[in-house]
């Protein structure tokens, strides 16, 4: 069965990649694209999309089985309302979310199907499991997470870096209170049971994440590098296909992998 998908924020940094992933997947049809800026016929033609597809948020949510969103935290409130109203599945890859956004996603999951992942790459989500396993062996090592992204990325640390920290913290029974985001403001000796975060911004880097486990006389580094955005858009389309066959609820990559 072919899944009908729509792409939110189609003129954004992920838009072109999502279009290509949707067009190249034999199991999906793109039936809608929309953006905060108008989507005109010339855009559709240049993107290789038919002029008949929906180009508004309302039309896209009504026509699609699944809407894929990589836009902004602010848009999430409106998108979840539309997803519930139209019984449309929603795949969210937006980062920079906080507790109120997750509550909205969980509430929406009571009425429709919702999937959230700060990183849609299958490799990165496998990396989370590798990080947990490594942490379980190196419980007495100091842990630092370093992430690097393009100059346009606004949130820091990245959602992927935070997810890495959360996975490791869960494995080691740490709390988020043990995350250290700013050593400049907290100038003191490093605590033995904290997880440090550092962010680098520059160039056009899609994403690079390194976890360093520091021992007294040795260190181990785990790194994942993204070479382009295709891994995120391909992953999001595969998630959309998977989500369409699930029951109502809020899902993550852990549900999909298991």
Residue 183: the pLDDT is 82
Using alpha carbons, select from 187, 174, 202, 6 the residue that is nearest to residue 86. Answer: 6
In CATH terms, 122-226 corresponds, of 3.40.50.2300, 3.40.640.10, 3.30.360.10, 3.30.750.24, to: 3.30.360.10
Alpha-carbon distance of 205 to 53, in angstroms, equals: 32
Tokens of 2: 């072919």
Assess contact for 8 and 71: CB atoms under 8 A. yes
Residue 101: the pLDDT is 97
Rg of the chain in Å (alpha carbons)? 19
Q: What is the pLDDT confidence band of residue 28, given thresholds at 50, 70 and 90? A: very high
In CATH terms, 3-120+229-257 corresponds, of 1.10.3720.10, 3.40.50.720, 3.40.980.10, 3.40.640.10, to: 3.40.50.720
Residue 18: the pLDDT is 97
Residue 186: the pLDDT is 74
Q: Where are the domains of the chain?
A: 3-120+229-257, 122-226
User: Does residue 212 carry a pLDDT above 90?
Assistant: yes
Q: What is the pLDDT confidence band of residue 39, given thresholds at 50, 70 and 90? A: very high
| Average of per-residue pLDDT across 118-146 | 96
Residue 242: the pLDDT is 98
Tokens of 111: 């009425």
pTM, entire model: 0.85
- What pLDDT, in 10s, does the model give residues 141-199? 999 999 999 999 989 999 999 999 999 999 999 999 999 998 877 778 898 899 999 99
Residue 196: the pLDDT is 96
Residue 232: the pLDDT is 94
Instruction: Give the dihedral sign, CA 10/46/225/185.
Output: negative
Tokens of 108: 């929406």
Assess contact for 198 and 179: CB atoms under 8 A. no
Distant-in-sequence, close-in-space partners of 244: CB < 8 Å, separation ≥ 6: 3, 65, 66, 89, 113
- What pLDDT, in 10s, does the model give residues 43-102? 999 999 999 999 999 999 999 999 999 999 999 999 999 999 999 999 999 988 999 999
Degrees to nearest 5, angle at CA 209 with 205 and 210: 135
Tell me the catalytic residues.
Answer: 149, 153
| Average of per-residue pLDDT across 198-221 | 97
Q: What percentage of the chain has pLDDT greater than the value 90?
A: 92
Residue 197: the pLDDT is 97
The mean pLDDT value of the chain amounts to 95
């Amino acid at each position: 069965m072919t899944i009908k998908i729509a792409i939110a924020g189609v003129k954004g940094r992920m838009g072109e990649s999502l279009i290509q992933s949707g067009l190249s997947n034999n199991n999906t049809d793109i039936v809608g694209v929309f953006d905060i800026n108008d989507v005109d016929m010339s855009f559709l033609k240049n993107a290789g999309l038919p002029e008949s597809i929906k180009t508004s948020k309302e039309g896209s949510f009504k026509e699609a089985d699944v809407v894929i969103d990589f836009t902004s935290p602010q848009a999430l409130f409106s998108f979840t309302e539309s997803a519930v109203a139209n019984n449309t599945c929603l795949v969210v890859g937006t980062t920079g979310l906080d507790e109120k956004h997750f509550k909205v996603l969980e509430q929406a999951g009571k009425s429709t199907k919702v999937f959230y992942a700060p990183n849609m790459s299958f490799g990165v989500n496998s990396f989370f499991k590798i990080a947990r396993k490594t942490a379980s062996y190196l419980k007495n090592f100091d842990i630092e997470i370093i992430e690097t992204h393009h100059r346009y990325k606004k949130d820091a640390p990245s959602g992927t870096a935070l997810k890495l920290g959360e996975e490791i913290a869960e494995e080691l029974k740490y709390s988020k209170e043990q995350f250290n985001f700013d050593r400049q403001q907290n100038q003191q000796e490093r605590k033995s049971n904290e997880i440090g975060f550092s962010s680098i911004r520059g160039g056009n880097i899609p994403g690079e994440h390194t976890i360093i486990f520091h021992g007294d006389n040795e260190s181990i580094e785990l790194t994942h590098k993204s070479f382009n955005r295709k891994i995120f858009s391909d992953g999001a389309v595969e998630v959309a296909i998977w989500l369409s066959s699930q029951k109502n609820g809020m899902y993550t990559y852990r549900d999909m992998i298991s």
